[in-house]
Structure 1
């Protein structure tokens, strides 16, 4: 099926030049293709747009009315496309970005001044939350998350790998000893992250595919990594 907008452009150019061959040359197509575009318009509309002779085209009454409509519509289409294209070149508007609290504070917020200098017409609203957010209901344009991606119709892009490590304060290790095996962690005061999408707050997982797991227990569960880090640093045994 031929593109209707292109067919309209062929029709307008042919009406102006009085020739399908001239319209074809101007639009960079063969005369046969230009003829097909006009034929397709006439078939769709159910009327003749041109009186055709071997020497020149002339508009029918229906063709004159259709020409007026095309001359009004095509510039509006061109203007709409130019407006959208200019936005691709220069980003404008409000960007609503959601990220985990600790990650957003440490890594994203420091980048925003440089982003604003590069895109002065963009205003950024940064929301920080460790909980999973509904982008559509919350009106967010995009979100950065750490962990496994659940099934979703939304588009996602992997930014980087995130290596997880088991850490403890020196004082804690002096008092409780250093675990030598994964299974040893079951005997330690392990702090749980309540928003873990992989294993929850009562297990830790190890290995690329999280195939090694150990049940943990401790005196604190929190929904924020910075809070857990602060608690671990005071070395409560």
Structure 2
């Protein structure tokens, strides 16, 4: 009996996969050899991504464009036999930094508003208020919890209480520069020392608008390929 059992175990040890009670078991570690995938190209503009697709440089066949978020777009292949995809190219938007929910001194805030926000009516109003702050009087800020008033210059030598506008509709650079930057509401707050901050107040709805803008841009630029069922866009 023992001899038969030893012989059975010996036979099992020579097998990589065995069947026991109708189930398959591996007798050792098995490593799958997968189809190779490419190292994706990374660009920082939608134009670069469009040029690549139009060139058909890699002869990639049917592809899927996935607008992942307002700053990321990926071009993917169909799944292969290992259920993996080639990621042919990825576009990553270069977005200037602005720390929302953090206070800046008035000079830095002024510069950031001019350099990282699209010019519109509310931006110019905020710039006017911030640029004319009388810092020595900022401690007289009035605040009812919703709106604020500050001492600011309203003429050549005149100082008066100026109401801080709230909410303000602004368009920071938050997605690819080739598309329209979505406007959204922000709460503008000021505190002692003339410090200013912007707090997002749209619940993140701007992201959906930005992604839609990116998808619409790509569809317009690649319409011929879309019509030929070579490219599909999702966001």
Band the TM-score falls in, shorter-chain normalisation: under 0.3
Higher helix share: 1
**TM-score, length-normalised on structure 2?**
0.27
Higher strand share: 2
**TM-score, length-normalised on structure 1?**
0.27
Larger radius of gyration: 1
**Larger relative contact order, structure 1 or 2 (CA cutoff 8 Å, min sep 6):** 2
